[in-house]
Amino acid sequence: MSVPTRFPRLRLLPLVAALGCATPSTPTSPAASVARAQGAASAPASSAPVSKEALASLEAELVAKHGEAQRARIERGVEQVATLWRAEDGDLAAFAREQFLPEGPRLDATFKRLEGLFEQFDGHMNELGRELQWFTDLDLGPLLPVEPLLAAYDPSSNVTSDLFQAKPGFVVLLNFPLTTLEERTKDGPAWTRRQWAEAKLASRFNRRVPAAVEQKVSQAIADANLYIAEYNVWMHHLVDAKGQRLFPQGLRLISHWNLRDELKADYTDPQGLAKQRMIVQVMERIVTQSIPATVIDNPRVDWDPFTNQVTVAPAASVEPNAPERPAKADPAPEPDTRYARLLATFQASRRADPYSPVAPTRIARSFDLDRGLPEARVRALLTQLLESPLVPRVAKLIESRLGRPLEPQDLWYPGFRPGSKVPEAQLDALTRKRYPTADAFARDIPRILQGLGFTREKADMLTSRIRVDASRGAGHAQPALRRGDFPRLRTRVEKGGMDYKGYNIAVHELGHNVEQVFSLYEVDHTLLSGVPNNAFTEALAFVFQARDLELLGLGKPDAQSERERVLNDFWQAWEIAGVALVDMATWHWMYDHPDATPAQLREAVAGLSRDIWNRYYAPVLGGKDSPLLGIYSHMISYPLYLPDYPLGHLIAFQIEEHLKQHGPLGAEFERMAIFGSVTPDEWMRHATGAPVSADALLRATAASL
C-alpha cells in the first residue's frame, strides 16, 4: 500500500481540479461553476467582492494593454482569481495589472520558477511530516506519550492558505488555467506536456481551505493510523471450546492484513479449516465491536472467539518478553473505538466541505478530484465484476479443488497462485533465514530488481534511492516528493526475522518505491510526478507482488501457471470489489446521518456489510448475514482508499497482458511510470493502448475456464 501523502502537492489534488460539472450542451467556465457552487455551499468566507462591472472593465483594460490574442487567457484568469478573492486580500485590479503575464519569455520563466519551487515545498514538507511520524510508523519500541501528538501535526497545513494570503496562489490562478474533468478527458489527448503541467499547477489552488481545518483532518487520520497500527491479536491465545490452541506461540497478527494472510496460508495446514473458521470469527467480532477490549494486543489473556469468553492465560503460555498488559478476564467489548475513529475523520472532513465548492463532499473529492474517475463509473466497474456470470464458474472450480462446499473464508482463496501449495511454515523459514533484518532485505534489492527484468545499472540506480525500515504496522511505501530525498519501504520484521507475510508485503511496497523513483526522477515536468491516482501505483505494485515466489526460486511461470494467474487475478478483484462498495456506502451513510454516534455507525457498517454480502457473496460462499466485508483496516485509517484496490487489479491485469507481448518488464515498467499524473485513461492508453476497463480481465478469465 502506498500511503496517501498528506502534504500539499498530493493532499490537495493528485489530479487537476474538476471544477464544475458542465454538460456538453451547456458550456460553463470553471470560475462560474465555482461561483454557483460557493453560493450553494454557503462558504464562511466572503468571496468575489468585486462587481461584475468592475471585472469586465478590468478585463477590457488588460486586453487593451496586452492584445486581443490574450483575451481568452485574461478573461479566464480574472474570473479564477475573483472566485477566491476576499475583501481582505486588497485591490484585485491593481494585483491583476501587476501580475498578469502575456504568453512569452516572462510567463515561461514564471512557470519554470514555480515548478522548481513547488518541488522543494512539497519535498521538504513531506520530509518534515515523515520525521514527525517516525516513531508511530516504525517499530522502535514503546511510544512516548508525545509521539501521537507529533504524528498528528501536519506542518504543511498552512502552506496553501499562506500562499493565497501572500498572493503567489493568485498569480497562478491569474496566469494558468483551471480545467474541468470534462475538459481534461475530452481535450487532454491533444495537449502538450507543458499544458498538462500548467493544468496541474493551477489545480493546487482550486479551493481555499483554512489551515486549521486542514490540520483537523490530518490529526483525525493520524489518530486512526496509530489505532490501526497497534491493533494486534496474539494468536496463541485464541482457544476453542476444548481449550486447544491452534496457533503457535509468539504469532502476533495485525488486523486486517496479517489475519487475512494467515487465513490464506492455512489452506496448506492439516488444521487449516479450523484455524480459518476461528479467524473469520475474530474478524466478524472486530467489525461488530463485540471483541473484548482486553484481548487486543494482549498476550496475557486467552480468548474463545466463538463463545467470547476471556480467561487469564497460564503463565507457561505467555510469550517470553511479552509486553506488559493487564492479565484480567474482562469480557467487556471494545467501546466502538473503531467507529469513533472513522467518525472523527468524517467530521473533520465535513469542516472542509464549505470551502470546496468544486467538490463539496469528501466523496466527491475522492472520486472527481483524487481519482479523476466519476463515482458512477467506478461503481459500474465494480458491479460488472460482482455480477459477472464467471463468478459461479470459478467458485465451482475452487470447490472441486477443496473437496467441500465453499465458506466465507474462501473469499481469500489463494490456490491459483504459483507455489500456493507450499506450506507457509516452509516459506517463513526461507524468508527469515534470508532476511533476518530490514537491512538484509535492502541489500537484496539489486538482485530482486534484476530478477524482475531491470538491467544491473538500472537496479543499482533504483537501489541507491530507496530506504528500507521495519514497520510498526503491516507495512507501506512512503514516497519522496523532491529529487534528493529517498522513498521509504516499510514492512513488518518480527524478532525472528521477516516472515513470508512481511516479505510478500515488502515486494509489493518495492513496486511502489520503484514507481516513485521513476515518476519523480525521470518525468519531464516534476509537476506531473507520480501516477494518475493511487489505483495506478497499486497496480504497478501488484505486478511486483505477483512475482514474489518466483523471486524466492519458486513458482516458475509456464502455460498452466499463466492460466492460474488469470483466475487468481479475477478472484482477488471480485473479493475486493465488494469491500470497496462497503467503504463507499459507509461514507454515503455518514453524510446522510451527520450526527450519528459511534454505536449507530457500527450498526450501519455491519448492516451495509451484511447487505452487500447477501447480495453478491452469500450465493457463492454461504454465511448469510456475515459482516466480514467490513474488516478492512483501510476503511478506518485511509478514507475512501479501498476502491483503489479493485481498480488497481483491473489496471494491473491490463498491464500484465501488455507485458506478455512487450518486454522486458523493467523497460516497460519504466516507460509507463515516467508518463506522470495525467488522466487515468490517458495514462492507460499510453501504457497499454486501451482505457481503464474490466473487459480484458473478464475475457481472459472466460478463456482460462
pLDDT tens, 28-72? 344 443 333 333 333 444 455 789 999 999 999 999 999 999 999
Q: According to the model, what pLDDT value does residue 274 have?
A: 97
Q: Is the dihedral of CA 161, 164, 168, 170 positive or negative?
A: positive
Domain boundary among 551, 573, 594: 551
Given this model, what pLDDT does residue 35 score?
39
Residue 590, in any domain of the structure: yes
Beta-carbon neighbour count of residue 79 at 10 Å?
20
519 and 449 inside one domain: yes
- What SS3 class is residue 483? strand
What integer pLDDT is reported at residue 39 of this predicted model?
A: 36
522 with 637, same domain: the answer is no
Instruction: Name the stretches of the chain with pLDDT < 50.
Output: 6-46
Query: Quick one: 649 and 613 in the same domain?
Result: yes
Q: Give dist(CA 586, CA 605) in Å, integer.
A: 6
Are residues 461 and 405 both part of a single domain? no
Q: Is residue 673 part of a domain?
A: yes
3-state secondary structure of 615: helix
Query: How many distinct structural domains can be found in the chain?
Result: 2
Q: Are residues 459 and 382 in the same domain?
A: no
Both 430 and 373 in one domain: the answer is: no
* Residues 587 and 618 occupy one common structural domain: yes
Look at residues 551, 578, 599 and tell me which one is the last residue of a structural domain. Answer: 551
Q: Looking at the domain assignment, is residue 88 inside a domain?
A: no
For residue 16, give the 3-state DSSP assignment: coil
Residue type, 210: P
In contact, 130 and 488? CB cutoff 8 Å: yes
Three-state DSSP class for residue 54: helix
Question: Could you tell me if residue 444 is left (phi over 0), alpha (psi between -120 and 50 degrees) or otherwise beta?
Answer: alpha
CA dist., res. 535 & res. 331, Å (int) = 40
Same-domain pairing of 577 and 594: yes
Contact call for residues 470 and 491 (beta carbons, < 8 A): yes
Q: Which residue range forms the structural domain that includes residue 589?
A: 339-416+559-704
Write out pLDDT tens, residues 355-405.
888 889 999 999 998 999 999 999 999 999 999 999 999 999 999 999 999
Q: Of 525, 551, 577, which closes a domain?
A: 551
CA nearest to 306, candidates 243, 241, 391: 241
Q: How far apart are CA 78 and CA 48, in angstroms?
A: 11
Query: pLDDT at position 420, please?
Result: 64
Instruction: Return the C-alpha cell found at 541.
Output: 505494485
The answer to pTM > 0.95 is no
Pairing label, strands 467-470, 488-491: parallel
**Which amino acid type is present at position 194?**
R
> Quick one: 436 and 465 in the same domain?
yes
Q: Is residue 546 part of a domain?
A: yes
Give the integer Cα–Cα distance in Å for 632 and 231.
12
pLDDT for res 47: 53
Note whether 557 and 348 are within 8 A (CB).
no
Query: Which pLDDT score is estimated for 97?
Result: 97
